Amino acid sequence: LGPDDKQLAKDKAHVAEFYCVQGKYKPAGPLFREALAISEKANGVDAPETGTIAYNYGGLFYDEGNFAEAEKMFKRGIKILEKTSTDENDVAMKSIALADVLDMQSRPEEAQTVYKKTIASLEKNPDPSGLIACLKSYQKHLLIQNKKDEATKIAARIKELKADMAKQAKSE
């Protein structure tokens, strides 16, 4: 593999992710930086591979508590993937982490905007599991904001979706 090889970028990103799963963040950072730089050269700055690496790099920053950098990388990755990915559900699910990082930075209005956009996108998907996951996060957001009435409505929606899933599973 050459120094600017697509596979090298992918391999470095996978090793970085492996370190993150083990809680070894220090060696993961340089690997993500290198993977991102290689992917930008090999795949292009707006390629889906670059978007995925940027997003996952944001996850490292999130785990380290560096929410400003996490936000930057999440936004970059999501922006690229919104333009290039064929999996709208995956992109929407990634947006939940962005909403969470905005909440962690005491920016609830921005987080709410992201949640609402994500929920609208996930509502279109026939599989409600992603929507349920997003609604649970949104419910937590609402409770933190002391919006108990809205959170109760979201809880009812989650219950309704789960009941629909159970009915569908029984009929299959």
pLDDT of residue 24: 96
pTM: 0.90
pLDDT of residue 1: 67
Structure tokens at 80: 């690229």
pLDDT of residue 98: 97
Among candidate residues 132, 45, 124, the one with its CA nearest the CA of residue 89? 124
Sign of the Cα pseudo-torsion (146, 149, 153, 159, in order): positive
Burial 99-132 (b: 16+ CB within 10 A, else e): bbbbbeeebbeebbebbeebbebbeeeeebebbb
Mean pLDDT per 10-residue section of the chain, whose length is 172 residues: 86 97 96 97 96 97 97 98 90 95 95 95 89 95 95 96 89 78
Q: Where are the alpha helices (DSSP H) in 22-147?
A: 25-42, 48-64, 67-84, 88-104, 108-123, 129-144
DSSP label at residue 23 = T
